[in-house]
Amino acid sequence: MASSTDNYTTAYAAALAVGTATLLGIAIFKVLVEPAKTVLVTKQQGSTDISPEPFSAVIKESTKVLHRQAESGELIKLIFSARITWNLYLQYLLALYPVYLEMENAMANCRGHPVIKRFYFPNELNRAKLLEKDIRFLMQGSDESVIQDALTTHGPAVTAYCDRIRRLGETDPTLLIAHTYARYLGDLSGGQMIKKRISKALQLETGGAGLDFYEFPNIAAHNDFKNMYRRLLDKLETDAALNCFLDKQAFIQEAKKSFVFNIELFEEVMPSP
């Protein structure tokens, strides 16, 4: 018999297929997958069964429906059709900036945690400073007070996303990795295609001003780095020194929520019809 979570996911996917997914539906989905309580997970609290598939593959399969939905949103369609405007791109970066700032601060604060220190690659991955650099380029000519106001003013979707990351850093750092997985590996994959589309739409030179967010100068080979990161995810399940901090189901649900947060962020960036 399918689990209640599977039923919810199946129902949600069906709603997407007929084009009836709404923000309300997303909000309901978040409630359905919300863990009852976030705690520092120990082996006694979580499952120690080893999955027949690598844990990274389980996460990918579990988030597949939401990943597809994120890729099919109106904002992403505008980007991939090279129809995004200068201002909309700015609003997109302004929405991402506080998320990365919160995520990178949380990772830095928790870098001594047995799990976090395995996934802590600030020189290779950190994006917040690069986002601010791109934002300042896009807002060139604006007063500093205007720029600061833009950097610190966030909508409810972005605020909820940041609040969740901050809370995980304080209560269950292992689950932060569900968010770094979704964001950074996405930036190293689809993000590189987004860079090319935005470059075309806004006539920005690839590797130049306005596109620094998508550059990873300290990663020689993106695929090699992503594969290494996935192997680290697998070790969360198989390495006894890490497994004691892992609740697999809570991690998978958090990965799903990361995609939901991003979907809501994309929708918040889009101007009202």
Residues 8 and 76 in one domain: no
The pLDDT tens digits for 95-136 are: 999 999 999 999 999 999 999 999 999 999 999 999 999 999
User: Does residue 272 have a pLDDT over 90?
Assistant: no
Residues 164 and 262 in one domain: yes
Residues 11 and 124 in one domain: no
Q: Is 230 annotated as a binding residue?
A: yes
The pLDDT tens digits for 181-210 are: 999 999 999 999 999 999 999 999 877 899
Q: Stretch 246-262: mean pLDDT, rounded?
A: 98
Residues 131 and 105 in one domain: yes
Residues 5 and 102 in one domain: no
Q: How high is the pLDDT of residue 271? A: 87
Residues 54 and 126 in one domain: yes
User: Does residue 171 have a pLDDT over 80?
Assistant: yes
Contacts of 2 (CB under 8 A, 6+ apart): 10
Q: How high is the pLDDT of residue 207? A: 78
Residues 15 and 85 in one domain: no
Residues 123 and 183 in one domain: yes
- The mean of the pLDDT values for the chain is 87
Q: Is 200 annotated as a binding residue?
A: no
Residues 261 and 159 in one domain: yes
DSSP state of 46: S
Residue ranges of alpha helices (H) inside the chain are 4-17, 23-33, 55-62, 64-71, 74-80, 86-109, 116-119, 122-125, 128-138, 144-152, 156-171, 176-188, 190-202, 222-238, 240-243, 248-269
Output the furthest CA–CA distance in the chain (Å, rounded).
61
Q: Stretch 153-158: mean pLDDT, rounded?
A: 98
User: Does residue 25 have a pLDDT over 60?
Assistant: no
Instruction: Give the number of other CB atoms < 10 A from CB of residue 54.
Output: 16
Residues 160 and 45 in one domain: yes
Q: How high is the pLDDT of residue 181? A: 98
Residues 47 and 160 in one domain: yes
Q: Are 82 and 76 in contact (CB under 8 A)?
A: no
Domain count for the chain, please give it: 2
For 14, the domain range is 1-33
Residues 7 and 67 in one domain: no
Predicted model pTM:
0.82
Q: How high is the pLDDT of residue 140? A: 96
